[in-house]
Chains A and B, each alone.
Chain A
């Protein structure tokens, strides 16, 4: 059994790191990290380079691709600029990612991709899509709740406008008949006179 390794908070490694067993990074690594075991980029840890391992857990910052044989887990506070690739990927609320995310490596790809996508979307955009979805389905109430009264009134007017217009049109259509009779009356009167 190989012993686990730690790169402490006060340590900077410039070069490649590779080996068996687990590695915890609380310091800085400027180079690729390739382990057969688990890799933890702890809080305050920073890696500029590609990271590969059995399972990669990130609470710190990584600028590079993450590739794991088992899982990539981005915890709260993680900042990753790079691509993620693993059979299982977890992105916690509060983790930042910029890059492509691919779950791959397990036999049944399409269901897993769907499942992963279903899992990932809520995880990444958890709060936002729900908030966006609500206004789409019921715009007036959400806007009334969230915005000022003015904008809410505008929305109400916008929503209500079609109805008044329809009523006006109906009203416009209705008056002519009364007018015509009156004209008719006048005309009849003139005719009579």
Chain B
């Protein structure tokens, strides 16, 4: 079970800090930081910088994404912002606008 679920009907305006898995299916505006995995669900709208161990994006995200492990933009996902991660994938059907830093 995911530690924290921001469900579909939920809107958070502010900072979210966690040391457990965070699943966002609702709206978030502010900042999202987790030392575990972060998952942005298909119908979610996030306007926030996201930092997590790994970040998976299937919804709409505006903000910079940082992950020491990996960042994945799933099909249907949309990211506007810079990505900093060791591994980065953009699935077919995903949209992305921003710079990529893979710490080469």
- A, B: real partners: yes
Interface residues of A (CB under 8 A from B): 2-21, 23, 27, 31, 35-37
Whether a CB of chain A sits under 8 angstroms from the CB of B13 is yes
Are B4 and A27 interface neighbours, CB within 8 A? yes
- Nearest-neighbour CB distance to chain A for B13, whole angstroms, equals 5
**Which of chain B's residues 1-51 have a Cβ closer than 8 Å to chain A?**
2-22, 25-27, 30
A7 to B27 CA separation, bound complex (whole angstroms): 14
Inside 8 A of A4's CB, which chain B residues have their CB?
A: 5, 7
Q: How far is the CA of A20 from the CA of B25 in the complex (A)?
A: 13
Contact of B3 (CB < 8 Å), options: A2, A11, A23, A37: A11
Interface size class of B (residues with CB under 8 A): 20 to 34
Q: Are B22 and A11 in touch, CB under 8 angstroms?
A: yes
The reply to whether B16 and A12 form a contact with Cβ atoms under 8 Å apart is: yes
Partner of A21, one of B7, B17, B30: B7
A5 to B22, CA, bound (A): 11
Report whether B5 and A20 are in contact in the complex, using a CB–CB cutoff of 8 Å: no
Take A8-B4, A9-B20 as given contacts and tell me if A21 and B14 are in contact as well, using a CB distance cutoff of 8 Å. Answer: no
Closest-CB distance, A38 to chain B (whole angstroms): 12
Q: Once the chains bind, are A5 and B3 in contact (CB under 8 Å)? A: no
User: Within the assembled complex, what's the spacing in Å between the Cα atoms of A113 and B22?
Assistant: 43
Contact residue among B7, B10, B16 (Cβ-Cβ distance under 8 Å from A11): B16
Given contacts A3-B8, A20-B9, A21-B8, contact A9 B3 (CB under 8 A): yes
Partner of A16, one of B14, B17, B20: B14
Q: Contacts A6-B5, A7-B4, A20-B9 hold; do A14 and B15 have CB atoms under 8 A apart?
A: yes
Contact A5 B26 (CB under 8 A): yes
Instruction: Among A3, A7, A17, A37, point to the contact of B11 (Cβ < 8 A).
Output: A17
Asked if B3 and A19 make an inter-chain contact with CB atoms under 8 angstroms apart, the answer reads: no
Give, as a whole number of angstroms, the nearest-CB distance from B52 to chain A. Answer: 12
Closest A residue, CB atoms, query B36:
A10
Chain B residues whose CB sits within 8 angstroms of the CB of A2 once the complex forms? 7-10
User: Which residues of B lie under 8 Å from residue A27 when comparing CB positions?
Assistant: 4, 18
Q: Is the CB of A10 within 8 A of B19?
A: yes
Distance in angstroms between the alpha carbons of A27 and B39 in the assembled complex: 19
Structural contact, A12 and B13, CB atoms closer than 8 A:
no
Inter-subunit contact A6/B18 (CB<8 Å): no
A residues near B3, Cβ cutoff 8 Å: 6, 8-11
A34 to chain B: closest residue by CB: B11
- How far, in Å, is A37 (CB) from chain B's closest CB? 8
Partner of B9, one of A3, A12, A13, A16: A3
- A19 B14 Cβ-Cβ under 8 A: no
Query: Chain A CB within 10 Å — which of B5, B10, B16, B17 has the most?
Result: B10
